[in-house]
Structure 1
Amino acid sequence: MAAALATCDMASLVEAVRLARGWSQADLARTVGYSQSWVSRVVNGQQSLTLNQVREVCERLGIPVHLLRFAPASPVSTPSVASRPPAASAAGRTKGAGPTRRRDFTKAVALAAFPLPSASAVGDIHELTAATLRAITGGQRRLDASAPSRDLVKAALAHLELSSRTLLRARQTPFLTEVAAATSEAAGFAAWLHADMGDAGSARMFYRRAVEHARQSEDVLLAVYMLGSLAIFEVDSEDPVLGLQLAHEATRRLGDGAHPTARAWLSCVRALAHAGLGDVSAAQRELGRAEAAVERSDNTEPPWPWVFPFDSAKVAGYRALAAVRLHRPHEARTAFSEAFATMSPAPKQRSMLMVELASVHADAGDVDEAFRLAAEALHTGAAYRSEKVVNRVRRFRREYRGPYARCVAELDEQLTSLVTGRLRL
């Protein structure tokens, strides 16, 4: 390990970490967020890493980047900042190395030229650092209610990069867990934006980062929240089996005696997964648990990271979504009415609910109202350039098996206009 750090030999370094932790290559791939084939190429010296990839892999494996140094190719006992030889001397020692080692040396030169955090460079991390990072994420979330995700995503990714770099500098400070929590929030928001843009692969990657940083924060509720959010994402991506597994893992981590808000929310997440699997009794059992939890006297101020109270209206919203998946239109309409009586969702969220409600009306035979709602949701999705909303309208249209009425033809024309550019996304 010391020799690999001293020579910036990423292939040996990654393999040493894998062996030390008893991981398979698949475990390692999940941890660093890349495919198993990519990890195999790195370990075998067939894959060069960019500077950003070196930073990213080190961060996810818990390797302090400042320990990567130049040194002789022969083994060394302890990596030391003071033992780093001049670049010219290091270059001379790489002449006999193979192409992989020369590529690693080139990456090490890039790392040396780039200002890296050192073990002592922690003076800029203080008690307000995490709060400042969280305030930025909070401001971006507020903008999400009225701005297209594509307009926000560059700023969100830049903020996540800032948070990640700050987390690296915070490793040797007492503020590590707080900064990790702030970085988890930033990653979770990046995942949310990519999901709205229809980029499921990136959304899944950022959700995994959010879960990992939440683990680093040592905040159980934050870890549960991020796992539950990933579970909802997988259910929405039509993988209720994985969603249910993630929800069960979040429940296991939550344990007994947790705040009623957390317990009710997780019950609702499990209900959606069961509904996606067509299990009526399991979904209703979970919703019953959620209703009992929100009625408890100690369900007052929601615990962070929940911002708003989780009450009976929120449970009604989940009951409606579950009923849609279970094709129970009358139950869904009743639950939607109860939920909308007190909720005032943001435009994109409202559009998603409108498509769900459109499915309810279609199942009940109210075709005109179903397609009116779908068309309104489509226009909002186009206005906010939300692929998530548009794709949900497309799925609604694909699943419709009723008569080809005029309202159906009109929605088809609008979807065609969207594809041809006459209705812009």
Structure 2
Amino acid sequence: MATALATCDMAAIVEAVRLARGWSQAELARTVGYSQSWASRVVNGQQSLTLNQVREIAERLNIPIHLLRFAGANAAPVSSAPSRRPAVNAAGQAKGAGPTRRRDFTKVVAMAALPLPSASSAGDIHEETAATLRAITGGQRRLDASSPSRDMAKAALAHLELSARTLARAARTPFATDVAAAASEAAGFAAWLHTDMGDSGSARSYYRVAVERARQAGHNLLDVYMLGSLASFEIESDDPGVGLVLVREAARRLGDDAHPTARAWLSCVCALGHAGMGDTSAAHRELAHAESAVGRVDNTAPPWPWVFAFDEAKVAGYRALAAVRLHQPNEARSAFYEAFGRARPGPKQGALLMVELASAHADAGDVDEAFRLASEALRTGAAYRSEKVVSRVRRFRREYRGPRARCVSSLDEHLAAMITGTVGT
């Protein structure tokens, strides 16, 4: 114990106290105020500690703080008797101590002066904190499939604020990086909702927060996911040039040995960017890269934060979207049916796909089917108050240059009624 105290070997000190008092690791964890797994990592020397944590543990285990030293392993050991303190001179230095010993003594005095984090500021952060925050975001995402974004926005922003405050409290704990990752997911979902609400400025702001928190977490795949999501947002906002810059940066950060799901997804986002720029060969090249990635034998369980593995059907969906932007209606319709013939996407996502398919039918000259799909998508957009869906339908109408059929007039009337607030009157 004297040697452990002399070198501030907290793993040995904590384990010796636990054995001397006959505690289990769970009892030790309750005493020091951390989780059992965290206490186990400390005892096994797998968990580094801050100065605040050293002082906190020493106080809760009744270890006199002045006995802890930061000298090297060859320094003379300090007695473990609580009543024996090193003598000091008028300058507060240890009598007879050389420069190294004086520096060590000064460190102990400085450490003893540090305030303990209060239970309200840090003691409530534990190994389940990040998982709980992520579970809340996950539940909100599931509700998003069938709920208006405006109904969810206030709760999502409150959760984002909670995540930010929790992250601030977690700054001096071993769980800070996990909480930062959870905060990144919360910000990404807030961005998604504001995209659906048509608030592009707020969406960009929240995506930037999501990227910043992902980098604070030190989680490379989460960083890539959020940066790629921002790239996809810019491409869908009719700024494919900016989107391509962002997706290339995400690909650079991803590296060459990435999981196939991540690689395929980024290639598909890049393909949409090239299609938006009218570059057919580059779009097809990226889609071929995606198809090659999803065909790899190790493309099984997706890496977090991806939830589902990227498969052939998902690549087909992006091929359909690229073909719409490249005005290749036959390829688009074929790819749509390959991707979504058996799938049942959520109402809002399904409405967005209907608008894309409507564009393909309009390019092919099938006006009645095109406007039937657009009208159905508009009804869904109105029901869920999705500005994103309504805006896509309005863009579809602006870009239509075909004959003035009755179905075209009907959609115009429906759009006008929505603007004036007379839908259904």
TM-score, normalization by structure 1: 0.72
Provide the C-alpha distance between the structure 1 equivalents of 2:226 and 2:280, rounded to a whole number of angstroms: 26
C-alpha RMSD of the superposition: 1.2
Aligned to 2:201: 201
4+ residue segments displaced more than 3 Å: 117-120
Q: Which residue of 1 aligns with 2:125?
A: 125
Query: How does 1:277-296 map onto structure 2 within 5 Å?
Result: 277-296=277-296
What residue is the counterpart of 2:135 in the other structure?
Answer: 135
Rounded Cα–Cα distance in structure 2 between residues aligned with 1:292 and 1:308: 17
Alpha-carbon separation, structure 2, partners of 1:344 and 1:181: 30
Tell me what 1:272 maps to. Answer: 272
- Letter of the structure 2 residue corresponding to residue 382 of structure 1: A
> Does the Cα contact within 8 Å between 1:313 and 1:343 map onto a contact in 2?
no
* Deviation for aligned residue 1:422: 1.4
Shift of 1:256: 1.2
Alignment of 1:267-416 (within 5 A): 267-416=267-416
CA distance in 1, matches of 2:180, 2:342: 35
Report the CA distance shift for 1:280/1:118 in structure 2 as closer, same or farther (over 3 A).
farther
Distance 1:118 1:419, change over 3 A: farther
Aligned to 1:184: 184
Equivalent pair of 2:275/2:323 in contact (CA under 8 Å): yes
Question: For residue 380 of structure 2, what is the amino acid of its counterpart?
Answer: T
Aligned to 1:19: none
Quote how far apart the aligned CAs of 1:342 are. 3.7
d(CA) in 2 for partners of 1:118, 1:285: 58
Look up the match of 2:248: 248
Cα distance between partner residues in 2 of 1:281 and 1:118: 62
- Work out whether residues 122 and 169 of structure 2, in 8 Å CA contact, stay in contact via their aligned partners in 1: yes
| Corresponding residue SS for 2:418 | helix
SS class of match (1:407): helix
1:225 aligned partner, one-letter code: Y
**Rg (Cα) greater in structure:** 2
Amino acid in the other structure paired with 1:202: S
Same amino acid, percent of matched pairs = 75
Q: Which runs of no fewer than 5 residues in structure 1 stay unpaired?
A: 1-116
Q: Trace 1:161-176 onto structure 2 (pairs within 5 A).
A: 161-176=161-176
Post-superposition Cα deviations, 1:261-319, rounded to whole Å, max 9, x if no partner, equal: 00000000100000000000000000000000001000000110000121000000000
- Give the TM-score taking structure 2 as reference length: 0.72
Cα separation, 2, equivalents of 1:118 and 1:214 = 29
Equivalent pairs counted in the alignment come to 308
Query: Would you say the 8 A contact 1:118–1:169 is kept in 2?
Result: no
- TM-superposed CA distance for 1:344, in Å, is 1.7
Aligned mates of 1:118, 1:364 — CA distance in 2: 70
* Partners of 2:117 and 2:123 within 8 A in 1: no
The amino acid across from 2:233 in the alignment is F
The one-letter code matched in structure 1 to 2:422 is R
Q: What's the offset of the Cα at 1:118? A: 8.6
- Aligned partner of 1:418 in structure 2 is 418
Q: Does 1:153 align with 2:153?
A: yes
Secondary structure of the structure 1 residue equivalent to 2:172? coil
Q: Is the 8 A contact 1:313 1:342 kept in 2?
A: no
Structure 1 residue 119 displacement after superposition: 5.0
CA–CA separation in structure 2 for the residues paired with 1:246 and 1:160: 24
User: Displacement of 1:341 after TM fit?
Assistant: 2.5
Q: CA deviation at 1:393?
A: 0.2
Structure 1 Cα separation of the partners of residues 243 and 294 of structure 2: 23
Partners in 2 of 1:230 and 1:284 — Cα distance?
A: 22
Q: Distance in 1 between matches of 2:173 and 2:375?
A: 53
